[in-house]
Structure 1
Amino acid sequence: MIRHIVYFSVRSAADRERVLGGLRLLEANPHALLLEVGENLKLDSLGNEVDFVVYGEFTDADALDAFKAHPSYEASIAAVRPIRDLRIAADFVAKEKR
């Protein structure tokens, strides 16, 4: 399984709801086993630059590619990219539970 995590920050606090709404467009995408969009609680004492997190689980790289090819992904990019600041993505293979 691949875990896909993307962190976002907004340029302006006035755009927070628009960014969140744009990220939530991803929830209509059928290719993830699990997809969550959440607001950073900012509980870390060392850094809180991130405003939102998108967390997804995918069976394999092909499923992640299908997720990125889906119209909801393009709609989310169109809504969020112009008003976001930071975007950091990471993908990794999850260890099997023992």
Structure 2
Amino acid sequence: MGSDKAMMIVLLYIVIVIMAFVFRITISNTIRKEAGVIGTLRASGYTKGELIRHYMTLPVIITLFGALIGNIPGYTVMKNVCASMYYGSYSLPTYVTI
């Protein structure tokens, strides 16, 4: 692996693939369970766009909220934790977060 950056990039790709797989299974099961309701709504005159907006609004809001809640401690508290780990392992000069 060579460096921390290379290891983190590989880890990031692995996590993204796992998340994509979980989302695929979840969406597939939701569509299968809701097929009757979706068919009824389509027969009632709802467009595909309206149904997609209906089923995608809550997951998008939850994802954005989770990203916001995760980034706040990540850029405040965890920054200091990660910096102290590096300072404990290596002889590094002090740094300033930009």
In the superposition, the TM-score normalised over structure 1's length comes to 0.28
Structure with the larger RCO, 1 or 2 (CA within 8 Å, 6+ apart): 1
Q: Which has the higher strand share?
A: 1
Instruction: Considering fraction of residues, name the structure with more helix.
Output: 2
Say which one has the larger Rg. Answer: 2
